[in-house]
Structure 1
Amino acid sequence: MTTPEKTALITGASRGLGAALAEALAPTHHIIAVARTTGALEELDDRVRARGGAATLAPMDIGVEPAMQQLVASVAGRWGGLDLWVHAAIHAAPLGPAAHLDEKDWQKSLDTNVTATRRLIGLVEPLLLAREGRAVFFDDPRGGQKFFGHYGTTKAAQMALVRSWQAETVKTGPRVLVLEPAPMPTATRARFFPGEDRAPLTSPQDEATRLLPELLA
C-alpha cells in the first residue's frame, strides 16, 4: 500500500515564521499555503520549489468562512487529511490606549484572531484526525501590557480557546501544541516596536529550524 503524501497546512504562510516553517517543511511535506497576499505566496512557492518541495497556494482571508470551507473540502478530496496544521495568521492592529481603540481594528482583531481560529479548529479537526495529525499555535503573551489592547486581548482569547482544545483532545487527538517563539525581526514586531535594534533578534529561518523538531516529534 502506498504511503500517503504528507501534508502541512500553513495559515499565515506569506511571511515571517509561517513562511519560514513552510520552507523548512518543504522537503518532507506538501505545503498548503494560505495568506491574503498573492505575490508573497508566489515568492514562497519559488523558495519551496528551490528546496525540492511543492506547494498549493490558497490566496484567501481566513476570516471568510465560505473560502475556508471550500479549502477544507478541497484538502479532504485531494489528500483525505492533514498531517500538520501550523496557524501563524494574526491581525496586529496598531497600538493605542484602551480608552481610544479604533472600532474597525477591534472588530478585525476579533474576527481574525478569535472567530476565524474557532471556525478553523472545527473545520480542520476532522482532517487532522484522519491522519493522526497535529495542530501548532504560537503564543505571544501581551495581554495586560499597556497599549496592546487590540492585539493583547484577542491573542489571549485565542490562546484560551486553543488551550481548551488542547485539554479536550489529550486522549482523543488531534495533538495540539502551543509554542512561544523567540523575538524575531518581523513586520508585525516592527509595527509594535519602531526603532528597535533588530540585530539581537532571531531570524524567522533560524527560529523555524529550532522549532521544527517540536513540530515533528
Structure 2
Amino acid sequence: MLKSKSALVTGAGAGIGRAIAVSYAAEGARVLVSDIDDEAGQRTVDIISAAGGIAAFHHADVSSLADNENLVAAVLQRWGTLDIACNNAGIAPPSTPLADVSEELWLKILAVDLSSVFYGLRSQIPAMIKSGGGAIVNISSILGQVAFSGVGPYVAAKHGVVGLTKSAALEYAAQGIRAVAVGPAFIKTGLETHLDEQSRLSLDSLHPVGRMGEPEEVAELVSWLSSDRASFVNGGYFPVDGGYLTR
C-alpha cells in the first residue's frame, strides 16, 4: 500500500506511534522514526529492521518549530521526498479541575499537543508540495469531539488538532495534499498497567465493545488513510473508539 513512500512519525518510540511506524514499514514505506526518547525510538527502528523494513531514527522535540523543520529536512536528505507524515506525539495532563490548572501546565499541554501539530504542518506542507503531494494524519482523540472531566487543556488541544486538520485539508487539497484526523479512545499503550484492576476495568467499560483498543488497531486505519486507497478522503475525523462516541 505504501511501497516507495517516505514517511515520518512523531512520538514513535512506543504505543500508538510505534505501531504506526511498524505498520507503515510493513506496507513498504521508508520511515523516519522520531521521539524525544532516543533509546525508545531506536528500539522502534530495530523492530522495523528486524522485520525487513527500512527505518531510521531522528531525535525531535515536537514542541519546537526548529526540531520539526529539522525532522522534515532529515527525511528529504535521506530519501528525497516526504510523502506521508503522522503527527502523533502528545502528552496527557494529570487530572486537574479546570480552575486549578496552572498557567505552566496549560502552556505545556498546548505546546506538545497542539502547537506541535501546527509546527508539523508548517514544516511538512511545503516539502510535500515540492514532492507533488502527500498525506498527513494528525492523531487527535475521542476528546477532540467530547469532553472528559479533569483534562480540560488536553480536550482543548485535541479539539484544536481537528480544526487545524480541516484547515490544512481545505487550503492544500488543490496542491495534492490530504489531511485527516484520527481519534483513538482508550488504547493499551502500557500506561494502563500502572492502574489497579478496578480502574483498568472501568476503562474497559467505557467502550461498548467492552475493552480498550490495541495500538495496532489504530495503526491499521492510519496506514489506510495514508495510502492512495484513501485518495478521496480528505479533512475528516475518524474515531477508533470501540463505540465510545455512540453513547
Query: TM-score under structure 2 normalisation?
Result: 0.77
CA distance in 2, matches of 1:154, 1:187: 23
1:206 correspondence with 2:217: yes
CA distance in 2, matches of 1:56, 1:161: 28
The residue aligned with 2:7 is 8
CA distance in 1, matches of 2:223, 2:65: 29
- CA, structure 1 residues 122+190, in 2 after alignment: closer, same or farther (shift >3 Å)? farther
Amino acid at match of 1:120: G
Deviation at 1:170, TM superposition (A): 2.6
Deviation at 1:160, TM superposition (A): 1.3
Find the partner of 2:186 among 183, 187, 192: 183
User: Contact (CA 8 Å) 2:141, 2:185: kept in 1 or not?
Assistant: no
Amino acid at match of 2:175: T
CA distance in 2, matches of 1:56, 1:41: 9
CA distance in 2, matches of 1:192, 1:178: 28
Single out whichever of 129-138 and 11-20 deviates more from structure 2. 129-138
Amino acid at match of 2:168: W
CA distance in 1, matches of 2:25, 2:147: 37
- Cα deviation code 1:155-205 (max 9, x no counterpart): 112221221111222322311122233531125667899822258222112
Task: Give the gaps of 5 or more residues in structure 1.
Answer: none
The residue aligned with 1:159 is 162
- CA, structure 1 residues 151+189, in 2 after alignment: closer, same or farther (shift >3 Å)? farther
CA distance in 2, matches of 1:66, 1:128: 18
Amino acid at match of 1:8: A
User: Contact (CA 8 Å) 1:23, 1:51: kept in 2 or not?
Assistant: no
1:135 correspondence with 2:124: no
Single out whichever of 44-53 and 58-67 deviates more from structure 2. 58-67
Single out whichever of 111-120 and 70-79 deviates more from structure 2. 70-79
User: Contact (CA 8 Å) 1:82, 1:131: kept in 2 or not?
Assistant: no
- CA, structure 1 residues 153+206, in 2 after alignment: closer, same or farther (shift >3 Å)? closer
Amino acid at match of 2:199: G
The residue aligned with 2:58 is 58
- CA, structure 1 residues 192+115, in 2 after alignment: closer, same or farther (shift >3 Å)? farther
Find the partner of 1:196 among 197, 200, 204: 200
The residue aligned with 2:236 is none
What does residue range 100-119 of structure 1 map to in structure 2 within 5 Å?
100-119=100-119
Task: Give the gaps of 5 or more residues in structure 2.
Answer: 205-209, 230-247
CA distance in 1, matches of 2:194, 2:127: 35
Amino acid at match of 2:215: P
CA distance in 1, matches of 2:13, 2:62: 13
The residue aligned with 1:23 is 22
Give the superposed CA RMSD. 2.5
- CA, structure 1 residues 121+14, in 2 after alignment: closer, same or farther (shift >3 Å)? same
CA distance in 1, matches of 2:114, 2:218: 25
Count residues in correspondence: 214
